[in-house]
Amino acid sequence: MSFSPQQPGAAPSDLSPAVAEDLALYREKFLQRLPQSLEELDGPIEGIVELPLHVAWSGMTVYDLGKSRQRVGLYRTVLHEGLRDDLPRFLNQDLLLQMWPVLRTLVGRTVRSVWEEAFPQLAGRARAAA
């Protein structure tokens, strides 16, 4: 995990070994869930999507992809809570690329960095939108 003046938080040397280990495990959780490529993400682009309870365990479970806020909410939830098999089922490459400049500001730092490091085209979309 990289730290910079724009990213508030403890510097790596300020972290206790236990906290550093927890952060590494948290990051590893998201790394293990990544698809091999964005092309694997062939989820729906329209209609109603119902997430299983292991993904949407708190809050909304049904999303209308025709509604921008619900679409973003679905993607945020799946990126944070979805398992490896859930990502291709519920996410769509084209929608993810289209929404990434906004979505990246709504997901946690670890999720954002794991996805942008694995898929440079996401980071490129964010830079292009800035």
Q: What is the DSSP annotation of 50-68? A: E--TTTS-SS--EEETTSH
pTM of the model: 0.81
pLDDT band, residue 4 (cuts 50/70/90): very low
Q: Would you give the end-to-end CA distance of the chain in angstroms?
A: 22
Q: For residue 3, what pLDDT is reported? A: 34
97 touches 125 (CB < 8 A): yes
pLDDT digits (tens, 9 = 90+) for 48-88: 999 999 999 888 999 999 999 999 999 999 999 999 999 99
User: What ranges make up the beta strands (E) of 37-112?
Assistant: 48-50, 62-64
Tokens matching residue 75: 């993607």
pLDDT higher than threshold 60 for residue 6:
no
| pLDDT, tens only, 120-129 | 999 887 777 7
